A = this chain, B = another copy of it.
Amino acid sequence: MNWENKFAHRTGLMKRSTVREILKHAARPGMISFAGGLPAPELFPIKETAEASHRVLQKYGSKALQYGETEGVTELRDYIVRQFSRGGAKVERENVLITTGGQQALDVIGRTLIDEGDAVLVENPTYLALLLSWRPFGANFIPMASDQDGLRVAEVEQKLSQKPKLLYLVPNFQNPQGTTLSVERRQTLIRAIQKSETLLIEDDPYGQLRYEGDFPPSLLELNGSINGNVVNVGTFSKVLAPGFRVGWVIAARELLDKLVLAKQAMDLHTSTFNQFLIWELIDSGVLDQQLPVLRKNYRERRDLMLQEIEEHFPEGLRWTRPQGGMFLLVTLPSGCSARQLAMKALERNVLFVPGDDFHLTGGENTFRLNFSNASPEKIREGIRRLADLLCEQLQKHPPEKAPAGVAV
């Protein structure tokens, strides 16, 4: 069998996710991982899930094990309706599609909308697996700059005049930067989007994981109407557990109809059992119990990681200070290679993800640290290991003389 000429053109555009490849090392004994976007496993509602499984099978019986409608389980769709019907956005059941995790929500949007060469505005850096999903559909990604208040909206207005098909953004605690779009910028962005023919995809997996400050209004809510150009994507992965693979899309009916068609072909529907399970965990109050627990623990971990970094990292580095979510981004002196640093860190049993994969341009001197997964003890130990490595490397190759590509 000659495999060379067998694959579709789009398969040539598929790339392995560095994150997922790096995660394969995470199981090594002694390894401390800041690599994945993984929730803290010790905080999962394990006992509650066992009890909820029992109740789901008692209450719904065979319905929870049978084929279901592509659109999703009514109880769960109606919960999304209630959660998102705020401000002027009157979400209806027909606007909601339950998906197999947030990743499928993004993938089905790309599949339905993106033709070869379509312009797609994305933050630079942006969510890696969005790039991996939409590139094979032919997306022509156009990077947009951002700062500590998120996307620089003034630049976006200019780019919208070129009529891109989509604008993708993570407004809260962005992956990989941890930054949040300010309320003022949200308002400006929505005004610009409403005047355009561009669809704005608001991907908000982390919004509930806020550790300080007020919850800003969602872009969907600010848009005021469900039948406009804002599409909301969410997931239960970060607030309940990723192992269920349950997420959603909220969109205008015209789009939702097409998303349903595409999803039928992709996996018929999301696991009925898991949809009922998520609904039971919500309805019995487990989600409401989990949120404060997650916020308290993740805030402590974020604070600890920032404190350790400030105390131990050598001079010349910068990092973001997120108000929530799971990640912060570290920037090395320019000319330093975070990818080579990651290789050396692996030898010392510390994992993180180099930033260049999240970037369309630049980012070689950045890396992402996750603070939700490791225990406080491991955060302390891991950041110290990393700090020692950074100090050694920066001493060997001080930044002003560092030739391009040398590990920090």
Contacts and interface: CB of A to CB of B under 8 A. Distances in A.
Given A1-B229, A272-B243, A265 B62 contact: no
A8 B115 contact: yes
Contact of A111 (B10, B49, B242): B10
A68 B104 contact: no
Contacts of A37: 67
Contacts of A2: 197
Contact of A66 (B39, B63, B270): B39
A290 to B, nearest CB: 12
Q: Which 8 A-B pairs have the closest CB atoms?
A: A41-B62, A53-B53, A65-B241, A243-B272, A133-B265, A65-B243, A3-B254, A14-B261
Contacts of A70: 20
- The secondary structure that dominates the A interface is helix
Nearest to A132: B265
A251 to B, nearest CB: 11
A252 B1 contact: yes
A9 interface: yes
A401 interface: no
A14 B254 contact: no
Interface string A50-71: 1001100110011111111110
Interface string A242-266: 1111000000101100100110111
Nearest to A42: B62
A134 to B, nearest CB: 8
A261 B1 contact: no
A17 B101 CA distance: 23
Contact of A20 (B39, B57, B241, B264): B264
B270 A113 contact: no
Contacts of A111: 8, 10-11, 136
Given A112-B8, A113-B6, A262 B14 contact: yes
Contacts of A229: 1
A124 interface: no
Contacts of A64: 243
A103 B267 contact: yes
Given A8-B112, A11-B258, A46-B57, A244 B137 contact: no
A227 B68 CA distance: 36
Contact of A137 (B8, B57, B114): B8
A16 interface: yes
Given A50-B54, A53-B54, A54-B53, A262 B62 contact: no
Nearest to A134: B265
23 contacts: A1-B254, A6-B197, A7-B112, A7-B258, A10-B115, A11-B113, A11-B262, A16-B261, A38-B66, A41-B63, A44-B65, A44-B66, A46-B61, A46-B65, A65-B244, A66-B242, A67-B243, A101-B267, A103-B266, A129-B268, A132-B264, A245-B270, A274-B274
A228 interface: yes
